[in-house]
Structures are given as C-alpha cells and as structure tokens.
Amino acid sequence: MAWEKVTAEEAIQPKAKKGGKFSTPTILCIIFSIFALLAISLSFYLQNPYLILVGYFPAVVYEAMRTAGPYTKAASAGMVLLIILEALAIKGVIQFNLADFLGKETAYIKGYWLPLGEIVTVFPLITIVLAILLFQRTIGKYTKWLSVIILVSSVALLWQINREALIEIIRTYLNYQL
C-alpha cells in the first residue's frame, strides 16, 4: 500500500464511514467525555452512584479495545471487571471486607498504599490506581484521554460512596510525596 500525500487540512478532517457516521477516536473520546461528565453531574444531583458507572463504562470498554500491550490490556480488562463487580457491590449483591479477610489495614498495589475495607470502597481505589498506571504506560493520546475520563469518574464515584476514604488516600499520597 502506497503512502498517500495529504494536505494539513485533509489530515485533520475526520473521515466518514459509509452512511456518513463519524467514528474517529477523537470524536468518540469527546462523546465519552461529555457522557461521563453529564453522568457525574446527574449522579450528584440525584445521589445515585450507578449513573457514574454507566457514564464511564463506555470509556472503559473502549480503553480495553484500544490498549495493545499485555500489561495495559490486562489492566484495562481488569477495570471492565471491576466496574461490573462495583455495580454488584453497590447494590449489595456482593458484600466483602478485604481488611478482615486479609488481616491488614492497607495493601501495596503497584506503588500505592491503599486502605482496605469494604469492596464498595476498595474497587474504585483500585480503578484509580489502574487509570493512573494506564496514563503513565500507554503511548497513544486517545488511551491517555480515556484514562483521564476513567480517573475523574472513579474519583467522583469514590467521593459519592465514601468521601472519607478518598480524603484519606489523598492525604496519604501527599504525605508520601512531600
């Protein structure tokens, strides 16, 4: 396949598929960003954390589709599983305390000390760590963009579920960094 010479204007134009529907990664990331932000806003207004999960689930699935490396693919696939389990945990279908099970108050996960406790709180913390790792380890601008969507949404979810845990992890991180 020969390389086709294009002008700068042609290079930035989104390409349309059959039927005129745009599906470039830029447009998808914009749509996912708007959808996640609307879901976060509506979730805080209605006090319903499920809306945040619904809002960023498409970004997590697309992230899992876009990542290519074995570790980044595992991290993004793990986030898909964590979101599904988080929905079940919020509903009360899954109730489990990791601190009691492991006999520890904290766990060291990929360079971060995370407080343990109910999985309703721990799963968003793990998702935050995975989003940070994906942001650091992926090369593409779209996977980084999706990681930011996931990070912001996970922080909003944790804020709505358990503010004290979020504040504690931020304090711990800032004390560790300073």
Q: Indicate whether 2 belongs to any domain.
A: no
Q: How many domains does the chain have?
A: 1
CA distance 147 to 24: 18
CA distance 137 to 95: 32
Q: Indicate whether 156 belongs to any domain.
A: yes
Q: Which of 128, 151, 139 is closest to 69 using CA atoms?
A: 139
Can you give the residue range of the structural domain that contains 88?
21-177
What pLDDT is attached to residue 1?
45
**Mean pLDDT for all residues in the chain:** 84
Binning the chain into helix, strand and coil, the percentages to the nearest 5 are 70, 5, 20
pTM of model > 0.75: yes
Q: Indicate whether 7 belongs to any domain.
A: no
Pairing of strands 106-109, 112-115: antiparallel
Tens-digit pLDDT profile for residues 128-153: 888 988 998 888 889 999 999 999 99
Output the CA torsion 50→51→54→59 (10° steps).
-120
Q: Indicate whether 16 belongs to any domain.
A: no
pLDDT at 30 over 70: yes
Tens-digit pLDDT profile for residues 164-177: 888 877 777 777 65
Q: Indicate whether 8 belongs to any domain.
A: no
Q: Which of 51, 120, 59, 133 is closest to 91 using CA atoms?
A: 120
Look up residue 2 and give its amino acid.
A
Higher pLDDT, 14 or 80: 80
Q: Indicate whether 65 belongs to any domain.
A: yes
Q: Indicate whether 6 belongs to any domain.
A: no
Q: Indicate whether 3 belongs to any domain.
A: no
